[in-house]
Amino acid sequence: MRIGVLGTGVVGQTIASKLIELGDKVTMGARDAANEKAAAWASNAGEGAHAGTFADAAGFGELVVNATAGGVSLAALDAAGADNLTGKLLIDVSNPLDFSQGFPPTLSVVNTDSVGEQIQAAYPEARVVKTLNTVSANVMVNPGLVPGDHVVFVSGNDPGAKGEATALLGRFGWPAERVVDLGDITTARGAEMYIALWIRLMGALGGPSFNIELRKP
């Protein structure tokens, strides 16, 4: 399928490359059409890989992935344009990390709001699903890097959109039974605030390639 990936960082490149590997066609979107990282990715990623602006990528995609940093996601989507998002599944994998005070980062949105909600509120005609933000980029597209069963979350207002997102997660290697539906898009607050623990776990465990499994009676 045709997918627009917004963002040229590690997360955007990792997801975009996985999609090409899976046979999808991808336009990676950046603020500027001349973005060097997006151009380099498009030349190296193989057949079906293109680079363009945020609007090019969003217009190209039957579904759109927001892989920009959470603090600039609304600006990126504004550049992408509401018309290019209407009716589409918009998968938001961002985290509102604020590194302005150094490491560890704080969250620029917490408690009574989340980036996922802000995006859904700004683009009511998009079908926003928050997912994958709770694992590192390499685990997002290759859950088998982490041994055993472990989970990923989906938050969104549209059950159909969550189903489509779960199908895409399945293509990345996430079994449907390990995709936990947290509820509507407000539950993205939980998935985003978990990152404060994730950051400390990364320190305690010595690296980012880990995840959590749920245990219940």
Q: How far is the CB of 155 from a second copy (least distance, A)?
A: 8
Start-to-end CA distance of the chain, whole Å, equals 40
Name which position in 100, 101, 102, 177 contacts a second copy (CB under 8 A). 101
Region binding a second copy by CB under 8 A among candidate stretches 20-28, 66-74, 77-85, 204-212: 204-212
SS (H, E, C) 38-88: HHHHHHHCCCCEEEEEHHHHHHHCCEEEECCCHHHHHHHHHHHCHHHCCCC
Name which position in 34, 40, 110, 167 contacts a second copy (CB under 8 A). 110
Q: Is 32 in the site for a second copy (CB under 8 A)?
A: no
User: Whose structure tokens read 């989507």?
Assistant: 77
Collapse the DSSP code of 116 into the 3-class scheme (helix H, G, I; strand E, B; otherwise coil) and give the result. Answer: helix
Q: Is 216 in the site for a second copy (CB under 8 A)?
A: yes
Give the torsion sign (CA, 26, 31, 35, 37): negative
Q: Is 112 in the site for a second copy (CB under 8 A)?
A: yes
Q: How far is the CB of 187 from a second copy (least distance, A)?
A: 4
Tell which positions 122-141 bind a second copy, by CB under 8 A.
none
